[in-house]
Structure 1
Amino acid sequence: MNRREAVKNVAFLMGGALSATTIGVFLESCNSTSTKAKGSLFTDDQQELITEIADIIIPTTSTPGAKAAGVGPFISMMVKDCYPDDAQKAFVKGLDDLDKQAKDEYKKSFINLSVAERQELLGKLRDETVAATKVEKEKLAEQDKQKPVTTSILPKDKPKMEPRFFAIIRDLTLLGYFTSEIGATQAYEFVEIPGRYDGCMDMKPGQRVWA
């Protein structure tokens, strides 16, 4: 199985943990035969910013974090090659807005902030995203009384949600990390050559889930 298939499989397994935009991508865009425009979507500074944001979302603890797993380049590749134009524009704008907010609040760029300052900014952005998404779902539900808004991965239930920067970078950080070698073999319990399949195995307190 190649990396693309692994990413798609993990995306469907995560299901409701992903944003509507990312679910839509794996239902449509990555199955499309159309070719995205060549060239880089991000500047070198933006690429560095992506890498640092991912490393705040999954930092190094007892296992290596997102930066060590090479998640930054993965995010850039996925946004450029798989996400539609409106999501790409929202993502680039989100990067610029986050850096501007860092300069407004701390008088320095996001890259130069301390870990605590980065966490605070991303925490605010997360809360804003959750609140805005909730409002949007309520509006859509009001418009469609016949069926509640859903983030089901089923094509017939394709959600109609505005792409949001934080949701996309969170989704891709998780997907990139847990389909990387580091994520699959160190963050998860991993058996390179497994024996029989056991669908109901007790886990010890603190034990990592199996890859």
Structure 2
Amino acid sequence: MDRRKALKNVAFLLGTAISSSTIGVLFENFGTYEGEKNQISFSAKEEEILAEFADIIIPTTKSSLGAKAAGVGDFIPMMVRDCYPANLQLLFASGMKEMLSKCQKDFNKDFLSLSGEERHKLMTDLTAEAIAGGKKPSFFMIARDLTLLGYFSSEIGCTQAREYLPIPGKYDGNVDYKPGQKAWAT
């Protein structure tokens, strides 16, 4: 199975947790032409910022590691460069720059220097802006969607954040669900 087909399957399993723009990228199969690929590039610092951003969305808990540990900081730039059309790549890059400017303006700090409380406030503001934008693609929506997709298609997401049986038994569609039990990955 190729990477695009595997990601489509994961996106389908995540259902409505992913925005329509990301589903369009994965399902419409409009194939990013070579001339559209890699319209933008990410520095090591930007990848670190994306890893921290993703870790705000899915942090490490006592039962599973977070998005940063799952490698989502590398996954997001790869997906944006290789799978998104040029217009969405540029939208993502400009949105990321706007977020970094917002950090300077609102907190007088760069993103990596923000406290946990300041990061939470930033995420609340970005969420509100994305909701106000309706169904228009935005940096926040793309980064959030790719965080979910990258995390739940990673080994950590499949084996620690969800129940995992490497060799499942017979199918039983009426298994008792215990309160607090993880969702099944297999």
TM-score, scaled to structure 2: 0.91
Aligned to 2:26, the other structure's residue is in SS state helix
1:177 aligns with 2:151: yes
Aligned to 1:187, the other structure's residue is in SS state coil
Cα-Cα RMSD: 1.8
AA aligned opposite 2:33: S
* Counterpart in the other structure of 2:82: 81
Aligned residues: 183
Q: Distance in 2 between matches of 1:79 and 1:174?
A: 14
Indicate conservation of the 8 Å contact 1:3/1:179, yes or no.
Answer: no
* Counterpart in the other structure of 1:28: 28
AA aligned opposite 2:110: S
1:128: how far off? 1.3
* Counterpart in the other structure of 1:142: none
Indicate conservation of the 8 Å contact 2:37/2:85, yes or no.
Answer: no
Change (3 A) 1:116 1:210: same
1:168 aligns with 2:169: no
Equivalent residues in 2 for 1:1-211 (5 A)? Answer: 1=1, 3-29=3-29, 32=31, 34-35=33-34, 36-37=36-37, 41-62=41-62, 63-133=64-134, 161-211=135-185
AA aligned opposite 1:53: F
- Could you tell me which runs of 5 or more consecutive residues in structure 2 were left unpaired when the two chains were aligned: none
> Deviation string for 1:18-61 (max 9, x for gaps)?
112101101234x6273354586212222111111001000011
Q: Distance in 1 between matches of 2:143 and 2:21?
A: 11
TM-score, scaled to structure 1: 0.80
AA aligned opposite 1:98: M
Runs of at least 4 residues of structure 1 off by over 6 A? none
Question: Which structure would you say has the larger Rg?
Answer: 1
Larger RCO, structure (CA 8 Å, separation 6 or more): 1
